[in-house]
């Protein structure tokens, strides 16, 4: 799995929208300024998020973008899969399972790739936009509670 610059920008924009959730629609230029993102590129990303029904757009003088759901209900995996595709390091989980079943000579390698995908997916599926919007650092996420309902990704990943 590789997160592109576009994927990173999408996550940063979602963090800004989550931090300002409940304020109504936020103008693109304000999201860009708050997230330090290029406005023109952000427009394309927000359109993609809108088409996926993750954000809503509002027209008019008080228009802009807002989250369609509570930030605690939007896992990072939804955004990454939308922008960058599968979470697997190559192909997707089903393709890797097929390779494991059909390529005995390289089965162990593909099993490692599937395990990497599964570990990443578990973290990203259990970490919400609220989790990252409420925490400033990864170490803070593991040490204290934060905005999401799903719990600390550090704790989830370690099985505690």
- The model's pTM is 0.77
Indicate the SS3 state at residue 105: helix
Residue 20 lies in a domain: yes
pLDDT digits (tens, 9 = 90+) for 132-142: 998 544 444 44
Residue 31 lies in a domain: yes
Give the structural domain span for 49.
Answer: 1-68
Domain count, the chain: 1
Residue 50 lies in a domain: yes
pLDDT digits (tens, 9 = 90+) for 41-83: 999 999 999 999 999 999 988 899 999 999 999 999 999 999 9
Residue 131 lies in a domain: no
Residue 43 lies in a domain: yes
C-alpha distances in angstroms, 123 versus 7, 10, 86, 157, 160?
16, 18, 14, 6, 13
CA distance 48 to 69: 16
Indicate the SS3 state at residue 55: strand
CA distance 34 to 11: 13
CATH of the domain at 33: 1.10.10.10
Residue 53 lies in a domain: yes
Q: pLDDT higher for 14 or 135?
A: 14
Angle at 135 between CA 4 and CA 125, to 5 degrees: 55
C-alpha distances in angstroms, 86 versus 79, 82, 108, 117, 155?
11, 9, 21, 9, 24
CA distance 12 to 42: 10
CB 153 within 8 A of CB 126: yes
Indicate the SS3 state at residue 56: strand
């Amino acid at each position: 799995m590789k997160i592109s610059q576009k994927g990173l920008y999408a996550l940063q924009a979602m963090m800004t929208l989550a931090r300002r959730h409940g304020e109504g629609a936020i103008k693109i230029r304000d999201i860009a300024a708050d997230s330090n993102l290029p406005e023109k590129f952000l427009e394309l990303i927000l359109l993609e998020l809108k088409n996926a029904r993750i954000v809503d757009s509002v027209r008019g003088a008080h228009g802009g973008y807002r989250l369609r759901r509570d930030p605690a209900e939007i896992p990072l995996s939804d955004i990454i899969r939308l922008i960058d595709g599968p979470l697997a390091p190559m192909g997707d989980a089903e393709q890797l399972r097929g390779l494991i079943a059909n390529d005995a000579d390289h089965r162990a390698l593909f099993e490692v790739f599937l395990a990497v995908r599964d570990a990443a997916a578990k973290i990203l599926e259990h970490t919400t936009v609220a989790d990252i919007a409420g925490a400033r650092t990864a170490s803070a996420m593991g040490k204290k509670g934060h905005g999401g309902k799903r719990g600390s990704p550090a704790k989830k990943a370690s099985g505690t």
